[in-house]
Amino acid sequence: MNIIFIDWKCFNHDDTLRTLEELGHQVILYSHPEYNMPVSQSFVKDFETFIFGKKVDLVFSYNFFPPVAEACHRQNLPYVSVVYDSPYVYLYSYTMIYETNRVYLFDSAWVKELRAGGLKQVQYAVLPAATGRSLPAPSEVPERLRSDLSFVGALYNEAHNFYERLEEHADDTLKGYLEGILSAQSLIYGSDILSPLMTEDLLTQMNRALPLEANSASAEPASYRHLNYVLHRRLTSMERIRYMKLLGQHYSGSDSSIKLFTLDPSASFPGVQNMGIAEYSQEMPLVFRGSRINLNITLRSITTGIPLRCIDIMSCGGFCLSNYQQDFLLDTVEADSGYSAEDPLSTSAFLPGIDYDYFDSADSLLEKADYYLSHEKQRAEIAENGLRKVQTYYSLTAFFQRILTI
């Protein structure tokens, strides 16, 4: 196939190019400064000029971009996109209706919602990972990147974030109500109680305190930005900070090393070492490889899906301990046989206690962290099983073979 690859600083950029070429495809890079705008006639016109005289079978991008969809629709070209960001407002762009689209989403709840709205071009897929890296043994990972338990991710506690800006103008009643529903949701994984509470009255109050206008070029729900950019990020920040404090206190005075890799250099929790940023392509794989336990605390706008972080952890041979996410248990790729406990690869679902493990409360997080730090053989076996599962079903090679055949 001749594939146009929308060229931007996406995750797995180089590995994807290499994989497509190894599969025998011709890849043509295309970039434009307005690729990620809601609407861009400049993009559409330039793209039309770029492809003139070229044989093109399809266009591919990580994340879905309305100008690309518009240009492909006009040229009757298949546009394949794999969305890994959340939240992602462009899922409500009017260009999503085009039959030339094939949009892969990693959250089955999103897929269910959009397909119920008539978007049959939307499909579910676990995000793929690069699995061909040559990584050192865990004991050979540099000391800075090695730990007993690590967490890699933003704390969403930046100064003057959306929630803080809302608080500045909200009355005490609204602030108290929001803190109450956030605290209630923090006790529950696997069920969303915030969305049904986004009533017209609540949204009016939140908009009065912090106006966030929906994109006029989309069918974006009125509550989408306040729910996802304000409440879900606030809840995620609360949880990540709470768990870092909890782990630091729990292992205080022990020999266990707890490391945080995050954007905020000032974040400080007793018993936790803030190591700053772990660069995605070079350092992060070593963190995952060199940590006995890699913690995942999912951004709450991801309702049921498996975050890319979890797939990346397992693709590096790391042990993944995640909060509960329903989609881990989905068997979505046809296997050779029915599930067998003796052969975890007989199902594409991720099996808790076999390929990874999960926690569903603060108590279960500490219980499982203690357990796996004291059961090295079992922890290593689970990490190896997770790696084999990703290599078998969710490598870039397996993924592109699957979707390009479709």
CATH number at residue 74: 3.40.50.2000
Find out whether the peptide bond into 136 is cis, omega within 30 degrees of 0: no
- 65 and 114 housed in the same domain: yes
The 10s digit of each residue's pLDDT in 107-150 is 999 999 999 999 999 999 999 999 988 899 999 999 999 999 99
Angle at the Cα of 193 from the Cα atoms of 188 and 195, rounded to 5 degrees: 140
Helices 362-373 and 376-393 pack at an angle, to 10 degrees, of 100
Which residues, other chains included, contact 116 with Cβ-Cβ below 8 Å and sequence gap of 6+? none
pLDDT of res. 23: 97
Strand order across the beta sheet in which 2-6 lies: 26-30, 2-6, 58-62, 79-83, 101-105, 122-124
Q: Is residue 130 part of a domain?
A: no
pLDDT of res. 213: 84
Write out the two tokens for 148. 């007993």
- 150 and 175 housed in the same domain: no
- 151 and 169 housed in the same domain: no
The 10s digit of each residue's pLDDT in 244-280 is 999 999 999 899 999 999 999 999 999 999 999 999 9
Q: Is residue 131 part of a domain?
A: no
Rounded Cα gap, residues 161 and 184, in angstroms: 22
Reduced to 3 states, what is the DSSP secondary structure of residue 325?
Answer: coil
Q: What average pLDDT does range 316-345 have in this prediction?
A: 86
- 369 and 284 housed in the same domain: yes
Q: What is the DSSP letter of 231?
A: I
Structural domain total, the chain: 3
- 11 and 147 housed in the same domain: no
Instruction: Report the amino acid identity of residue 84.
Output: Y
- 21 and 116 housed in the same domain: yes
Residue 160 pLDDT greater than 70, yes or no: yes
Q: Is residue 224 part of a domain?
A: yes
> What's the distance, Cα to Cα, between the start and end of the chain in Å?
13
Residue 337 pLDDT greater than 60, yes or no: no
Write out the two tokens for 71. 């240009």
- 271 and 151 housed in the same domain: yes
pLDDT of res. 334: 76
Rounded Cα gap, residues 309 and 320, in angstroms: 9
341: pLDDT confidence band, cut at 50, 70 and 90? low
Q: Where in the sequence is the domain holding 306, given as residue range(s)?
A: 138-155+247-394
Q: Is residue 251 part of a domain?
A: yes
- 109 and 143 housed in the same domain: no
Residue 304 pLDDT greater than 60, yes or no: yes
- 97 and 115 housed in the same domain: yes
- 114 and 217 housed in the same domain: no
pLDDT of res. 336: 61
Does this model's pTM top 0.85? yes
- 108 and 145 housed in the same domain: no
The last residue of one of the domains, among 232, 262, 279, is 232
Q: Is residue 210 part of a domain?
A: yes
The 10s digit of each residue's pLDDT in 180-236 is 999 999 999 888 999 999 999 999 999 999 999 888 789 999 999 999 999 999 999
- 262 and 317 housed in the same domain: yes
Average per-residue pLDDT for the chain:
95
Rounded Cα gap, residues 319 and 299, in angstroms: 19
Q: Is residue 400 part of a domain?
A: no
Instruction: Report the amino acid identity of residue 151.
Output: F
223 and 200 Cβ atoms separated by less than 8 Å: no
Percent of the chain clearing pLDDT 90 (strictly above): 91
The 10s digit of each residue's pLDDT in 56-86 is 999 999 999 999 999 999 999 999 999 999 9
Q: Is residue 405 part of a domain?
A: no
Q: Is residue 341 part of a domain?
A: yes
Neighbour count for residue 184 (Cβ, 10 Å): 12
